[in-house]
Structure 1
């Protein structure tokens, strides 16, 4: 195999889990540019890569002088490229087809799932012209919607239109033009109503027998909240029962009705390979949308290229856990997996190395940020100073950290409520210091101190953006909202807990030869530990005053008093 700079290749490893009951595959990426640098510097005839417990040896042959020259020239003047840029080049948008009759709640579903306000669906254009129209929102340019009316009884034209559309998209070679998922939407019928009409049954039959190919199809049962309301009205009077008891009884009875009139008939007809999700777009049921999003992302991951699955996570604006998972996947692709030893950062300014990590994380969160505040010099400087402030501040007690755990997340809501009043500008309590100049001019070098700072920057930035998600509520970002998120994170004990966890890792690390794998595992562990679920996010948002309507303010910050 001939290797060239700028290309990548993958080793696909297949393995079985648990006595061979489940077969999985995993792609392990290799970067010739990094191989060339190591090969040219050492003149070895092999390149060794560790992946989990697997030791992979790539035997090399060629002129070492030429390889050394290529290695030197390829990294000397070239800019570090964000991994998300490459993902966006392959798959710039998540492409989804939503099918459903008028009134089933498609518009609310799309608006809530992808964090947009204006309705994108349209029924003004008949037939083929409607389904081929690409709806792209200015508020979220990471998804493209195709809209189709449902399959009315006795109507066959629309079924053929949908079938032809899916087939055309299947035949397109570029991933960005292919269809990545289909949501087939029904309103949950009343007791005695019929869920599946003839046209719908035929569509599901086409999917079940493979005619539609590997396009992920998810059945979406809408307006779950209305089912709960109807069910509660039918409950017998429960004298003395509290709200929680009534809520539990209502849910149990509604679930039984769902199984009887929806899920049972659907599974009997469509089989187990066509997933379904019960959803409501009401704020108190946001976790139902999160389940739909995760189900869709998982189906895309199983059946399409990984870039489409990552873009599904980037496009959605419901599940912060998926954002964190996507950040991890992007980071593992290139930069995070070799923080301690990667020659990618060799001889680079620390600021440039941080910048490429910063861009990748911000891109995954996909805020509505038309002014690019999150990519600005001011915000990046704020994050660098914040990491330094946490490093020099008092260290948290590790034993108390373990005891408190995730409950610390809830304290952020109270802090935000106190800081978010309209009376005064938000003050970010971080010291100016001289650390910024050091980070901007120092050259990246392999050391425990550098590794610790890079790990801190990655985790703190991710958790600040998760905090910002609480504030923004998919509105246009303002500097005030960003400063509120940073100030709230700093005022909580979470930031110091994170720093303590990374310090503890660093103290236990004795060999830099294991640092890459261990550092990546620690980053993932800390980020996932503080991940906020969709249900928790709804509860926390209810405690925070709205800040989107308040006037914006400058980046100016008061330094912390000594």
Structure 2
């Protein structure tokens, strides 16, 4: 009988995201709304289809779609599939029947990837005494209330809130924001009240100061998808959406909980594996969830290529240099007790890598040194000792917070991912109080009573709590501002922030 350490040593560690994308490769969403309702702008912003070709693809395809069954997939972000439906204006009741048939047929499919995962009902906020509901819209909502359209989540998106604000300003209101909210309440919220139990709603605006309404829409949609559909659908939405760091965090934790993070404290998944392989499979899952666009993709070198590798196809974030830089963040967490069995794994790592010491024009890492550093991992095996477990915990938390900083800095397409940008992010994060505090907390946990004996199964919960505690802390926001300043990156005129609801207008 083989020992636990050797029994599965030759079996490759499989990324959790690979299995998830085999089950459900794309988030499937139906948008309903008449022409000019803000559908294409909403989709472009929520899923960050920012390049000209991608935006043209969404707008033009939606403009020409006459078949709700047509799948619209934009190559700028292939992690979602869009179905478009016209509104129900001018008595187009036949279109209501088409939507009903489509949702019922999709809802009856056993394959979760073929079901519709969410419906966004785009309703422009009426002005000059108009009505929020057309006859067809009200009938559709009534069918949803009666359970005739299955469990797919519906979200009503009140678009063009910025138009309402502009009108209030134009009419000379002393408090345009209050006036706009008053009109929104009278024209949208009150008439919609009888439907809100089954169909939650959001108002959205792309006006500066209200951009986070889109984040709120994504977060609401994710919550409803998680409540009503298998978890894989909400995780894939987390990968596809490109505006909410909170949803990225939640999806990262959900992926980790399925296997590798959940067993850090018990060694079930990693026992007997090479440490470099343990870190690599965690890196693949986290980078895949954040889906940060890299202008220098190397995917064309891989053929045939699974979708999850398309998502991961980032030259910078898949590189050994990036991996070594994250490991350097972890490197000094050891308490350096005599006889530290794993200390040698990190000895001299900072010197060999030279990440923080390089000048602005220099490459982030020295390739030869990186190869030597990472080679150390090839000879050491994961064992259930506190020092190695501390490093695994620190690696997960540091990598996610670094990915979040990159996500925030790149928001709105204000710049492209590059080696100098990654270097700045990691250098500033390395010197931050966040990193120091996390090391102290992880050391205290790993050397304390919670980590001993049965308490080890709490490791996942502790990692999750640390991420949730720090991802939105003041210093992370300040680090983002420092990174923007270091690279002279201006705040875009309409950068999504957060307010009360989500969407945008055409």
Query: Residues 151 and 159 of structure 1 are in contact (CA less than 8 Å); yes or no, is this contact kept in structure 2?
Result: yes
CA distance in 2 between partners of 1:487 and 1:549 (Å):
17
Q: Deviations over 1:72-94 (max 9, x none)?
A: 99724221111111111111110
Q: Among residues 255, 272, 282, which one is paired with 1:347 in the alignment?
A: 272
Instruction: Tell me the equivalent position of 1:358.
Output: 283
Say whether residues 1:483 and 2:423 are aligned partners.
yes
Query: Residues 90 and 175 of structure 1 are in contact (CA less than 8 Å); yes or no, is this contact kept in structure 2?
Result: yes
Instruction: Tell me the equivalent position of 1:186.
Output: 123
Instruction: Tell me the equivalent position of 2:184.
Output: 258
Instruction: Tell me the equivalent position of 2:499.
Output: none
CA distance in 1 between partners of 2:265 and 2:318 (Å):
25
Instruction: Tell me the equivalent position of 1:155.
Output: 92
CA distance in 1 between partners of 2:76 and 2:151 (Å):
30
CA distance in 2 between partners of 1:69 and 1:505 (Å):
32
Query: Residues 208 and 271 of structure 1 are in contact (CA less than 8 Å); yes or no, is this contact kept in structure 2?
Result: no
User: Any residues of structure 2 matched to 1:515-530 within 5 Å, and which?
Assistant: 515-530=455-470
Deviates most, 295-304 or 479-488: 479-488
Distance 1:97 1:545, change over 3 A: farther
Please give the TM-score of this superposition, normalised by the length of structure 1. Answer: 0.71
Q: Among residues 513, 520, 525, which one is paired with 2:453 in the alignment?
A: 513
CA distance in 1 between partners of 2:464 and 2:25 (Å):
26
Query: Residues 113 and 317 of structure 1 are in contact (CA less than 8 Å); yes or no, is this contact kept in structure 2?
Result: yes
Instruction: Tell me the equivalent position of 2:349.
Output: none
Instruction: Tell me the equivalent position of 2:79.
Output: 142
CA distance in 2 between partners of 1:390 and 1:343 (Å):
23
How far apart are residue 311 of structure 1 and its match?
Answer: 0.8
Distance 1:456 1:542, change over 3 A: closer
How far apart are residue 345 of structure 1 and its match?
Answer: 1.0
SS of corresponding position for 1:127? coil
Structure 2 stretches lacking a partner, 5+ long: 299-313, 337-355, 491-506
Cα RMSD between the aligned structures? 3.2
Instruction: Tell me the equivalent position of 1:170.
Output: 107
Instruction: Tell me the equivalent position of 1:89.
Output: 22
How far apart are residue 141 of structure 1 and its match?
Answer: 1.6
CA distance in 2 between partners of 1:528 and 1:193 (Å):
43
SS of corresponding position for 1:232? helix
CA distance in 1 between partners of 2:365 and 2:428 (Å):
9
Distance 1:108 1:440, change over 3 A: same
User: How many equivalent pairs are there?
Assistant: 439
Q: Among residues 279, 293, 302, which one is paired with 2:227 in the alignment?
A: 302
Structure 1 stretches lacking a partner, 5+ long: 1-67, 238-248, 394-418, 551-562
How far apart are residue 504 of structure 1 and its match?
Answer: 2.4
SS of corresponding position for 2:331? helix
Q: Among residues 111, 116, 123, which one is paired with 2:49 in the alignment?
A: 116
Distance 1:423 1:251, change over 3 A: same
Query: Residues 161 and 204 of structure 2 are in contact (CA less than 8 Å); yes or no, is this contact kept in structure 1?
Result: yes
Distance 1:514 1:230, change over 3 A: farther
CA distance in 2 between partners of 1:314 and 1:165 (Å):
25
Say whether residues 1:457 and 2:395 are aligned partners.
yes
CA distance in 1 between partners of 2:397 and 2:27 (Å):
26
User: Any residues of structure 2 matched to 1:20-31 within 5 Å, and which?
Assistant: none
Say whether residues 1:375 and 2:318 are aligned partners.
yes
CA distance in 1 between partners of 2:473 and 2:42 (Å):
19
SS of corresponding position for 2:81? strand
Query: Residues 283 and 538 of structure 1 are in contact (CA less than 8 Å); yes or no, is this contact kept in structure 2?
Result: no
Distance 1:179 1:484, change over 3 A: same
How far apart are residue 222 of structure 1 and its match?
Answer: 0.9
CA distance in 1 between partners of 2:407 and 2:41 (Å):
20
CA distance in 1 between partners of 2:472 and 2:2 (Å):
48
Query: Residues 5 and 272 of structure 2 are in contact (CA less than 8 Å); yes or no, is this contact kept in structure 1?
Result: no
Instruction: Tell me the equivalent position of 1:501.
Output: 441
Query: Residues 320 and 532 of structure 1 are in contact (CA less than 8 Å); yes or no, is this contact kept in structure 2?
Result: no
Q: Among residues 423, 428, 442, which one is paired with 2:380 in the alignment?
A: 442
Instruction: Tell me the equivalent position of 2:156.
Output: 219
Please give the TM-score of this superposition, normalised by the length of structure 2. Answer: 0.79
Say whether residues 1:98 and 2:31 are aligned partners.
yes
SS of corresponding position for 2:120? strand
Of Structure 1 and Structure 2, the greater strand share is in 1
Q: Deviations over 1:434-474 (max 9, x none)?
A: 86444342100001101110000000000000111122226
CA distance in 1 between partners of 2:477 and 2:94 (Å):
43
Query: Residues 96 and 136 of structure 2 are in contact (CA less than 8 Å); yes or no, is this contact kept in structure 1?
Result: yes
SS of corresponding position for 1:335? coil
How far apart are residue 511 of structure 1 and its match?
Answer: 5.0
Say whether residues 1:471 and 2:409 are aligned partners.
yes
SS of corresponding position for 2:465? helix
SS of corresponding position for 1:455? helix
Instruction: Tell me the equivalent position of 1:241.
Output: none
